[in-house]
Amino acid sequence: MAKVVTFGELMIRLQPYNYERFVQADHLEFTFGGGEANVAVSLANYGLDASFVTKLPAHAIGQCAVNSLRRYGVDTSKIVRGGDRVGIYFNEKGASQRPSVCIYDRAHSAIQEAQPADFDWEKIFDGVDWFHFTGITPALGPNVVEICREACKAAKARNIKISCDLNYRGKLWTRDQARAAMTDLCQYVDVCISNEEDAKDVFGIEAEATDITAGELNKEGYKSVAKQLADKFGFEKVAITLRESKSAFDNDWSAMLYDGTDYCFSKLYHLHIIDRIGGGDSFGGGLIYALLSGKDTQAAVEFAVAASALKHSIEGDYNFATIAEVEKLAGGDGSGRVQR
């Protein structure tokens, strides 16, 4: 069984019920999520040995966060305990032409104030095959950039495959800060995951003839984006998810995977969205599983996109679609008919 370690921040998600606005809500739904934690849950769900690494307070809310992963089979034994608070994000689900709104309350969280000495990467990476992080984590501060750098160096020294989802978050840092940090970290990365905007926001590399807000993507332009990324950093593979947003409810969803030779585009899914948070993370989890399972480039991107398409139908950050469900959708059955 392949062993995967993911590293990042696990947060409390507070959200009004149904599609209420913040100003209407008198009670909030309480769950947990976070980019790399979402990936770990996906991988554990697929039967891999998935460990999540972070720092969380030793108090009851910190333990609730840990338990939210343990219940789905994620190894939490490498989580460092300490600090004072768990980061929070407030999410207002969009509807029709009203977009979703995300407000962060994560300053001074345990992981944001963590130090490199908190993590023994030699021990954490013992027997590990794959390491995954996202651009959200180094955005927490220079100290966390250094933790990510030490993790990448330790993984590279052990010949562990490293994947990174660029995941640019403009509310956490500037484009210049992101470019400096991610240019440094990406020298260690083997598999880069981006969406239709990240490469532009972080590295200034963009697809021609594309209008994100109008939901118009030039898929041929993303071949150039993938090749430029691979040439710049020496990535073995570059995956780009392609979201064409028609409304908060309705998106077209596909992806491309470039392996240095071939540009493989997945089939296109017309999504009617229940919850889009974690959609990109479920793609990352599906891609890591597919590559560790030995799938070829086309099969890998089809599995990853199908996994993510199913996640958009599931409430919360985590993806609970099974391998069989993903394989069935990737194979062409997207009818949604009752299974008896």
Q: Is the pLDDT of residue 212 over 80?
A: no
For residues 144 and 147, give the distance between their C-alpha atoms in angstroms, rounded to a whole number: 5
DSSP assignment of 35-102: HHHHHHHHHHHTT-EEEEE-EE-SSHHHHHHHHHHHTTT-B-TT-EE-SS---EEEEE--BTTBPPEE
**Predicted model pTM:** 0.95
Give the pLDDT confidence of 56-77 residue by residue, as tens digits: 999 999 999 999 999 999 999 9
Confidence band for 339, pLDDT divided at 50, 70 and 90:
low
Radius of gyration of the chain, Cα coordinates, nearest whole angstrom: 19
Q: Where are the domains of the chain?
A: 3-330
Q: Residues 289, 46: contact at Cβ < 8 Å?
A: yes
For the chain, how are helix, strand and coil distributed in percent, rounded to 5?
35, 25, 40
Average pLDDT, the chain: 94
For residues 111 and 134, give the distance between their C-alpha atoms in angstroms, rounded to a whole number: 14
Q: Examine the residue annotation and report whether 281 is marked as an active-site residue of this protein.
A: yes
Q: How does DSSP classify residue 300? A: H
CATH topology of domain 3-330: UDP-N-acetylmuramoyl-L-alanine:D-glutamate ligase (3.40.1190)
Q: Residues 196, 222: contact at Cβ < 8 Å?
A: yes
**Residues sharing a CB contact under 8 Å with residue 54, sequence separation 6 or more, in sequence order:** 7, 8, 9, 10, 34, 37, 79, 80, 110, 111
Torsion angle, CA of 298/301/334/280, rounded to 10 degrees?
Answer: -170
pLDDT at 332: 84
Confidence band for 338, pLDDT divided at 50, 70 and 90:
very low
DSSP assignment of 159-210: T-EEEEE----TTTS-HHHHHHHHHHHGGG-SEEEE-TTHHHHHHS---TT-
Short-list 322, 305, 315, 304, CA closest to 32: 315
* 130-134/161-165 β-pairing: parallel
Give the pLDDT confidence of 276-304 residue by residue, as tens digits: 999 999 999 999 999 999 999 999 999 99
Annotated active-site residue in 75, 129, 190, 281 = 281
- The residues that bridge with 13 in the sheet, in sequence order, are 31, 89
